[in-house]
Every structure is written in structure tokens, then in C-alpha cells.
């Protein structure tokens, strides 16, 4: 498959996947709370959504074309291992990358995510921020490609759709996993909402462990 067609397919997948997942969560939230989802369309929101999905599609296309990530057949054990190791790696990558984005040198890349009022926060990322944060996906995927001679298309779909589901949850200010067995791993949605409310700290996305270990957990 040529790079142009591959880019078009990955771009369509990212756009459709992001909007579909956000739509499902918006419908669930409306059904439970009777509140309309906080989604508005304006020029700034559309711009940063476009930067977000174009950067994602470009990075995945480049990784596949350059052989950094290679495709192979599906294997459930390999996929489970890739997802498990990748989740731990991504949590650490996101935490430290997010802290860097809050420095005065890199905050201009991150400001649109906090300041843009259009669309939804989980859709609004500059291209620069997307490169900083999403590049973390490719290290475990590249390692898996070397160890297993490739990763499957199903694995890639699970990685990116799973990451975006958690991204949307982290911006809904709901305790989706509180009091459950996975709460310590995935129970930080309300903490991330406090970060967006202006509290200093709470740089982790899904898990609180690095905020606690590094002394950046915001109280309240």
C-alpha cells in the first residue's frame, strides 16, 4: 500500500474513531445526568482537532512506512502483553511529558488544550503537543515489532482506541472506576478534572502513582 493511501486510511480511522467514542460517552452522560455534552464547534476547536488527527495519522503512517512498527498476524497473548507493558510505559511517558508541557518553554504547545472552548478538551491538541505525548506509543510498539516480528492491526486498533477511551474519560469529571478493582490504575478522572480547573499538579492521566511518588498530587 502506498503512503498516500495509508495516510488517508489512518486519518479516516482516527477521525471516525475519535468522534464515535466521544459520541458514545456523550450519549451515556446525557442519559445519566440529563446534561448535554460540552461540545461546541468553533474555528479554534476545529483547527486543533485537525492538528491533532493529522499529526496522529502522520506519525502512524511514518512508523509503518519506515518499518519502526511492522504488521504481523494477531496473537492474543502477545497483544495482552503489549497492552499491559504499553500501559505502564504510557502512564510514565504521559506524566513526565505533561510536566514538560507545563514548563514556560513548552507551554505554548499545551495552551490550546486548556484554553480552547470549542469542541471538547479531549479533541483539542496542538500538533506539537500531539507529537510530544503520542510519540510515547511507538516505543513499546517498536519493541514489540522487534520481539514478535510485528504487531497486528488489531493490536494497533486496541492501543489507539483504548487510549482515546481513557482520554475521554479523564476529561468527563466522573468517577467511572472508583471503588472497583481497577480503580488504583484507572481512577484518576476527577483528579485530572482538578488539573483542568487550575489546580497545580495532578499531571498523571489515568493513575495517581507518579503524582504521589513525585509530590505533585493536588489536594481537594
Question: Tens digit of pLDDT for each residue in 24-45?
Answer: 766 665 655 555 445 556 777 7
C-alpha cell at 29: 452522560
C-alpha cell at 160: 489507539
Evaluate if residue 119 carries a pLDDT over 80: no
Evaluate if residue 82 carries a pLDDT over 70: yes
DSSP character string of 175-190: -TTTTSTTHHHH--HH
Percent of the chain with pLDDT over 70: 80
Sign of the dihedral through C-alpha 131, 208, 84, 18: negative
Mean pLDDT, the chain, rounded, equals: 83
| Helix, strand and coil percent figures for the chain, each rounded to 5 | 70, 0, 30
Q: What is the tens place of the pLDDT at every residue in 141-172?
A: 999 999 988 999 999 999 998 888 888 777 77
Output phi, psi for 218, to 5 deg. -90, 135
Picking from 61-65, 104-108, 191-195, which range would have the lowest pLDDT averaged per residue? 191-195
Evaluate if residue 6 carries a pLDDT over 80: yes
Query: Across the strands, what pairs with 40?
Result: 119
Picking from 7-21, 79-93, 166-180, 204-218, which range would have the lowest pLDDT averaged per residue? 166-180
Question: Residue ranges of the alpha helices (H) in 34-150?
Answer: 43-65, 76-101, 107-115, 127-134, 138-148
**Nearest-angstrom CA–CA distance, 112 and 54:** 16
pTM of the model: 0.86
Would you mind telling me the total number of residues written for the chain in this entry?
220
Give the residue from 94, 181, 184, 186 showing the smallest Cα distance to 140.
Answer: 94
How far CA 80 is from CA of 122, 134, 183, 197, in Å, comes to 26, 20, 19, 35
Evaluate if residue 188 carries a pLDDT over 80: no
Amino acid at each position: 500500500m502506498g503512503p498516500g493511501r495509508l495516510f488517508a486510511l489512518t486519518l479516516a480511522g482516527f477521525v471516525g474513531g475519535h468522534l464515535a467514542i466521544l459520541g458514545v460517552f456523550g450519549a451515556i452522560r446525557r442519559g445519566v445526568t440529563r446534561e448535554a455534552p460540552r461540545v461546541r464547534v468553533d474555528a479554534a476547536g476545529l483547527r486543533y482537532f485537525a492538528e491533532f488527527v493529522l499529526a496522529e495519522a502522520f506519525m502512524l503512517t511514518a512508523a509503518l512506512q519506515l518499518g519502526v512498527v511492522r504488521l504481523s498476524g494477531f496473537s492474543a497473548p502477545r497483544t495482552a502483553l503489549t497492552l499491559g507493558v504499553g500501559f505502564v510505559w504510557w502512564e510514565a511517558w504521559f506524566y513526565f511529558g505533561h510536566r514538560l508541557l507545563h514548563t514556560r518553554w513548552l507551554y505554548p504547545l499545551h495552551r490550546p488544550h486548556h484554553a480552547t472552548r470549542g469542541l471538547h478538551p479531549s479533541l483539542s491538541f496542538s500538533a506539537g503537543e500531539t507529537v510530544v505525548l503520542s510519540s510515547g506509543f511507538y516505543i513499546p510498539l517498536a519493541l514489540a515489532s522487534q520481539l514478535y516480528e510485528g504487531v497486528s492491526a488489531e493490536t494497533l486498533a486496541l492501543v489507539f482506541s483504548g487510549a482515546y477511551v481513557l482520554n475521554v474519560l479523564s476529561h468527563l469529571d466522573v468517577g467511572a472506576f472508583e471503588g472497583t478493582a481497577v480503580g488504583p490504575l484507572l481512577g484518576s478522572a476527577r483528579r485530572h478534572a482538578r488539573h483542568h480547573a487550575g489546580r497545580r499538579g495532578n499531571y498523571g492521566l489515568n493513575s495517581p502513582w507518579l503524582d504521589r511518588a513525585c509530590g505533585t498530587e493536588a489536594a481537594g
